[in-house]
Amino acid sequence: MRKFLVFMLLIFFSGVCMAGMGAKKEDKTAIVIASFGTTYPSGLKSIINILDIVREEFPNTELRVTFTSNIIRKKWQERSKNPKKWLEQGVPAEIINVKGIVATLGQLSDEGYKNIVIQPTHIFHGEEFSDVLEYARGLNSIKTIKERWKPFNKIVVGRPALGTYGDKYDYHEDIKEVVKALRPDIELARKYDAALVYMGHGNEYYSTGAYIETEEMFNEMYPDVKTFIGVVEGYPSLEIVLRKLKQSGKKKVVLKPFMVVAGDHASNDMAGDEPDSWKNILQREGYKVIPVIEGLGSNDAFARIFVEHLKDAARDGGIILK
């Protein structure tokens, strides 16, 4: 009887060992938050807020941050030579040592991460977002003789705040979610009996019609507060906003950046002391201006939009986040 029991135990443990040897090791997964970036330490709080919310949602998934702006990244590379100065100002080490998207993905590959979800924090499908898509497509296309040496199994990209083209996700619904998330800005303008004027970044290469549709959605959802969106680059310009503002009859303006971070554009182009800042132009036109230097990423409801887009991209790509 004793020999029989020993024999059965040997069979059992042999089976367990064989099963363990045959089990496929789970590939490592990482999230990359791709932000345009900022050189302003005060503006970093919006990016940090997004990172904190993503970490809270996926505490067991590796998270990295990358800046897509080459100019901003180079400034941080120079600053990283004296990290103590910036650490004392509360700048996280991951920002001081921030890398570009290719370097960030290369480091993840070296560390064995095979499945990547990139979530850009761009406002709409413009130049920066398009470049992120192309980086992902290029790396996804790499083939190796031996499958196991491919740098990645899959890289997927979440859509920007105002959505993108295609029939998978209705960008009108994405715009609606953004407008709902920014209700506190409406309430602030309502408090001052003011119009709400946003300064967006814009670009010269893609249609910026998403801004026009967003402005229309604001005015449909909150008809008692006149909302206008202009951009630094492209259409609609401040001149277009001024024309609409005059027609509204409002004499006060709450001026805010329609950008994830409140950095150089918000501090200088929007609310700076130079004669050509939006604040000063509006004041010369007779408006009382209430500038608010705060990025949209500091709004938790807005930041969570990126979490939802991240989830959608992961689910569509068959990537499990924990």
Indicate the annotated binding residues for Co(2+).
201, 233, 265
Alpha-carbon distances, residue 120 vs 15, 235, 243 (angstroms): 46, 22, 33
Residue 309 annotated to the active site = no
Residue identified by tokens 């920007």 is 160
The residue from 122, 125, 172, 201 that is catalytic is 201
CA 81, distance to chain mean position in Å, is: 27
> Which element (helix H / strand E) includes 137?
helix 127-140
Structure tokens at 191: 């408090």
Coil/strand/helix, residue 59: coil
Alpha-carbon distances, residue 190 vs 186, 194, 223, 225, 253 (angstroms): 6, 6, 11, 6, 10
Cβ contact 229:235 at 8 Å: no
Annotated binding site: 201, 233, 265
**Would you name the residues annotated as active-site residues?**
201
